[in-house]
Structure 1
Amino acid sequence: MSVEIALRHARVRYGPLEALHGVDLAVPAARLTVLFGRNGAGRTTVLRALAGTVPLAEGRVEWRGADVTRLPAHARARRGLAFVPDQRAVFASLTVAENLALAVPPGTDPERAVTEVYPALRPLLDRRAATLSGGEQRMLAVARALLSPALLVLLDEPSQGMSPETAARTYALLGEAAAGGRTVAVAEQSLPPALRTEASVVHVLRRGAVVFSGEPQELPDESRPAAGPGPWGEPGPRGG
């Protein structure tokens, strides 16, 4: 498998605290990759480092073999990277239609486009994003990424706040995106069964380090729980 984007010996610090400890992690091209670990494990920081929203203290980011460590987030977006953070992923003051219009290619009808992704958003097109529920905002954020022309899509807990049915729909959409040739990387607290089926590669993080990289079927059963003590780490502060 060819590598789309990767961290090489990456260290990230938030003040005196080091969140990533020399992480080496590769995201294969045109595949679905899942990063998971408990809160504080470093999965969110990995996505932020790849997207360029946090700087590296050491190491580098390579995108298709080129060093893009110093490339700012907006420049990475222009090159074809879409990032859905775990918070503030939509423009709250804009309507659903306006949010979508910023992401879809020129000339695309947002109403028609969103129907193909999340039909439940269609009646909400005239609503301001701030008035949506948490699950509806996540749908909008994921829809913006998937309807954009970006070929590299990074999502931090995309199913947060969604109903089980909508979460299943989301995981299916991500699998379809990867099957269609896009590179997708998802960060979750645990590995949902649907992503275990769809993913080509999983990386387990613990306390800012990668403790496992491989195929989903190689994971031990203990990797499934989302909370409580276990072999991959302990509960910590929100995020990671």
Structure 2
Amino acid sequence: MTVEIELRGARVRYGPLEALHGIRLPVPARTLTVLTGRNGSGRTTALRALAGTVPLAAGQVVWRGADVTALHADERARRGLCFVPDLRAVYDSLTVAENLELAASEGDFGPALEGYPALGPLLGRRAGTLSGGEQRMLAVSRALLSPARVVLVDEPAQGMSPPVAARTYELLRALDAAVVIAEQRLPPGVRSGQRPVVVHELRRGSLVFSGEPAELPPPQEPASSPR
């Protein structure tokens, strides 16, 4: 598979703490890549490093063979990278319609309403008054409206009901882009489907698994408490 963008020997530090320990993370073109790991594993930091919202202490970000490590996040966005963070992903003071208009490249936000019909009745509402799941739908809509080559989404289904979450993963998998999502664990339903899926598990800033969903060991059931 052709690599669209990748981290090479990436180290990220927050003060004295190192969040990524020199990882190599290739993102294949037109593939769904899932970064899994517990909170504090480095999955969010890996997304931010790709997006350019945190600087590398060492290593490179390489996009289609070009070193873009020094490019700021806004420059990467102009080149075709869409980043949907887990927090502060919508403009609270703007209406839903205004948020969508800003995200739509030509002002047409119809694809967002096709993906999430529930947003239609909310167009006049300010984004800050929406529920957590509604805000997440609005945030993920940015990826549906952007003609991006790379789409990075941190916890796309946070706060959503199971049916809406399943719909969200379908929408992201259908994008004609290299899509990377960060989740604590592999989402249900991602193992099946036609589009290639790559999984990377991070633990304390290091990669401990890279492969296909079928290669993952089955999740362990929690031990029952003695009676």
What's the TM-score, normalizing by structure 2?
Answer: 0.94
Aligned to 2:81: 81
Choose from 110, 114, 121 the match for 2:112. 114
Work out whether residues 12 and 55 of structure 2, in 8 Å CA contact, stay in contact via their aligned partners in 1: yes
Secondary structure at 1:149's aligned position in 2?
Answer: coil
In 2, the alpha carbon distance for the partners of 1:34 and 1:154 equals: 10
Structure 2 counterparts to residues 131-146 of structure 1, below 5 A:
131-146=129-144
Structure 2 counterparts to residues 191-210 of structure 1, below 5 A:
191-198=186-193, 200-210=197-207
Which letter maps to 1:144?
Answer: R
1:12-49 CA deviation, whole Å, 9 max, x = no partner? 00000000000101010011010000111100000000
Which letter maps to 1:113?
Answer: P
Q: Which moved more, 1:60-69 or 1:113-122?
A: 113-122
Secondary structure at 2:152's aligned position in 1?
Answer: strand
Aligned to 1:29: 29
In 2, the alpha carbon distance for the partners of 1:175 and 1:81 equals: 16
In 1, the alpha carbon distance for the partners of 2:107 and 2:48 equals: 31
Work out whether residues 34 and 195 of structure 1, in 8 Å CA contact, stay in contact via their aligned partners in 2: no
Displacement of 1:10 after TM fit? 0.4
Aligned to 1:159: 157
What's the TM-score, normalizing by structure 1?
Answer: 0.89
Aligned to 1:129: 127
Which letter maps to 1:106?
Answer: E
In 2, the alpha carbon distance for the partners of 1:197 and 1:185 equals: 17
Choose from 180, 184, 203 the match for 2:179. 184
Runs of 4+ in 1 over 4 A off after TM superposition: none
Secondary structure at 2:106's aligned position in 1?
Answer: coil
Quote the RMSD (CA, aligned, Å).
1.5
Displacement of 1:107 after TM fit? 4.3
Work out whether residues 114 and 122 of structure 1, in 8 Å CA contact, stay in contact via their aligned partners in 2: no
Displacement of 1:196 after TM fit? 2.5
Secondary structure at 1:194's aligned position in 2?
Answer: coil
1:53 and 2:53 aligned:
yes
Unpaired runs of at least 5, structure 2? none
> Aligned residues: percent identity?
69
Displacement of 1:106 after TM fit? 1.6
Give the total of aligned pairs: 221
Which letter maps to 1:213?
Answer: S
Displacement of 1:183 after TM fit? 1.0
Displacement of 1:197 after TM fit? 2.3
Q: Which moved more, 1:142-151 or 1:83-92?
A: 142-151
1:98 and 2:98 aligned:
yes
Secondary structure at 1:193's aligned position in 2?
Answer: coil
Unpaired runs of at least 5, structure 1? 230-240
